[in-house]
Chains A and B, each alone.
Chain A
Amino acid sequence: MANQRREAAIVGIHEYPLRVVGPDVSAMHIKVESARKALEDAGLSWKDVDAVYDAGEGGLGGLEIADYFGFRPTVIDTTAVGGSSFEFQAAHAWRAIAAGKAKVALLTYGSTAHSQSRAIGTGGATGQGAPRPQSNMEDPWGLTLIAGYAMVKQRHMFQYHTTNEQFAEISVATRLHATRNPEAVKAMTDLAFVGTGEISIQDVLTSRMIADPLRLLECCMVSDGGGAVVIASRDVARNTKKRPVWIIGSGEATKYPENGGDITVSAGAQSGPIAFAEAGVRPGEIDIAMIYDSFTITVLAILEDMDFCKKGEGGAFVQGGRLKFNSGKKPALNTDGGGLSSNHPGMRGIFLLLEAARQLRGESHSQVPNARLAVATGNGGQLGSRHSTGAIILARD
């Protein structure tokens, strides 16, 4: 039975609606607007915030972030581990609140990656910045970010005979969910997707190759965007406007290239079981799996590593449309449309918490009836080299 710890809950959420912002909107503007609306969603106010979590993506550091917002927090946490920063931060907020160090924690995210035309996926190393041991060994080879994930997919296909058709199931399911989410449809329209409707496995298999074996429809978009999450203590959560979404388990880990290591295994193999053990739930009980879909391989590897199925059996597990919200099977994957088809401004982890909370409140556009348990599993850095995987397990009463 799921643990009944009720120390901290997500009580306020906001997802910035636009994926293409104007030139006069900064990342910090997105963070501030999202903070205001997430606090309104909770029925809390600016002055209630006593813990601030920030990954530095807005350009401000730990000394400056409270200053800009105008908060006076006594917990300041600048954990920055790429796209899963927000799962790590949610875990830290839970611990800080449980320890009595804070009552209202605010996590925000903002990015104008699209408007700045950042070539995140296909830019490759530039050979700039201070040299590091890793960059000196990796910059000369033309490894793009997408190629780093493609190497994992390649090895997975070699080791386990996973097929392109199986990987494509992940793109097809998330796109179905995106077509039901007006903000995702607008995102795909504004970002000039070739089509904004449902896609077939064949569509994925015939889309343009970017870094073999990853094709265009297996890759996330590059958008603007952001959001905010308010996490509060039990006492505060009793009086907030919406049904609290309790944090009942968390796990954090990083992984990196090792001599003789298995590249198909993510850091989720370390952090996932910790989160599930703490929550007292089995993967098979999870209704909603919000798993960072930077690429199809990211989802497949993490599903396996979190024990939704055995290692190497992810291909068979996702077959037959299982991940769709209306398949009648658990879990439903990325019911907001995911990074593949709704929102990916560079660090998607916050959206995993947002949609998981919407599902457990009953507010999703692809609502799974009576959803009670969700996992948000972020992945940051690069799956094929050094990366982070943070898992948060959420429950409603």
Chain B
Amino acid sequence: MTTQRVPRPQPRFPEPDTEPFWKATKDHKLTYQKCNDCNTVVFYPRRHCTKCGSANLAWHTSKGLGAVYTFSVVVQNRNPSFRDLGAYAVGYVDLDEGFRIMTNVVGVKNPSTDVKCGMRVKVKWEDQPGGEISLPLFEPA
């Protein structure tokens, strides 16, 4: 991706569900939750298990390895944060620990031909202006 003139939309706070996730990104830690009662992986972050309703969740750190589940290469975006980027890939990555995250797939010459469903990827952090959070992008592993 080329330099952006307008910063991307950022996560905003207070937002108590996702704040712990974003705080961890400052140290380049990709975190997810798991239910201590039924072992279900919970993502996006919440304070309850989506399978059994339990409030007994624990945070874990992902190795940052996974596979592209699906994606689109955006050619036209009227949002100023993205308008000048050129074609970029937005999609879902399935992490090996069992959670699915929306992200950008970067580090390829031509996203339209070089990104594939099922492709192995690893996290690549993009520190954001202000230094408080970092965005987990993914590139070919």
Residues in A lying within 8 Å of B, measured CB to CB: 119, 122-127, 131-134, 136-144, 146-148, 150-152, 154-155, 158-159, 209-214, 257-261, 263, 384
Contacts and interface: CB of A to CB of B under 8 A. Distances in A.
A124 B77 contact: yes
A147 B8 contact: no
A194 B99 CA distance: 44
A24 to B, nearest CB: 27
Nearest to B50: A258
Given A124-B79, A125-B9, A140-B8, 11 more contacts: A124-B82, A127-B9, A127-B12, A133-B15, A136-B12, A140-B9, A142-B90, A158-B117, A209-B75, A214-B72, A259-B99
B102 to A, nearest CB: 5
Contact of B70 (A134, A140, A154): A154
B104 A141 contact: yes
A260 B18 contact: no
A39 B79 CA distance: 42
Contacts of A131: 11-15
B63 interface: no
Contact of A123 (B18, B22, B79, B99): B79
Contact of B100 (A150, A159, A260): A260
A143 B135 CA distance: 15
A151 B15 contact: no
Nearest to B113: A212
Contacts of B75: 209-212
B76 A122 contact: yes
B78 interface: yes
A137 B92 contact: no
A46 B37 CA distance: 57
A140 B10 contact: yes
Contacts of A119: 78
A159 B99 CA distance: 20
Contacts of B87: 212
Given A127-B12, A152-B70, A136 B18 contact: yes
A211 B11 contact: no
A140 B116 CA distance: 21
25 contacts: A119-B78, A123-B77, A124-B82, A127-B12, A131-B11, A133-B15, A133-B17, A133-B45, A136-B18, A137-B102, A140-B9, A141-B104, A142-B77, A144-B79, A146-B72, A151-B71, A154-B71, A155-B69, A211-B74, A212-B73, A214-B72, A257-B100, A257-B102, A258-B100, A259-B99
Nearest to A262: B69
B53 interface: no
A215 to B, nearest CB: 10
Given A125-B9, A136-B18, A142 B71 contact: no
B51 to A, nearest CB: 10
B72 A151 contact: yes
A147 B89 CA distance: 9
Given A124-B78, A141-B102, A141-B103, A213 B72 contact: yes
B112 interface: yes
Nearest to B41: A259
Nearest to B22: A136
A142 B88 contact: yes
Interface in B33-91: 41, 43-46, 69-79, 81-82, 85, 87-88, 90-91
Contact of A147 (B13, B45, B74): B74
A154 B77 contact: no
Contacts of B91: 151, 154
Nearest to A139: B9
Contacts of A152: 70
Contacts of A134: 44
A137 B87 CA distance: 21
Contacts of B76: 122, 144, 146, 210-211
A236 B79 CA distance: 50
Nearest to A119: B78
Nearest to B75: A209
A122 B77 CA distance: 5
A140 B98 contact: no
Given A140-B8, A211-B76, A133 B102 contact: no
Nearest to B8: A140
B107 interface: no
Sorted nearest first, the 7 A-B pairs with minimum C-beta distance are: A127-B9, A150-B72, A212-B73, A155-B70, A136-B11, A147-B72, A124-B79
A181 to B, nearest CB: 28
B9 A126 contact: yes
A126 B74 CA distance: 16
Interface in B82-126: 82, 85, 87-88, 90-92, 94, 98-104, 112, 116-118
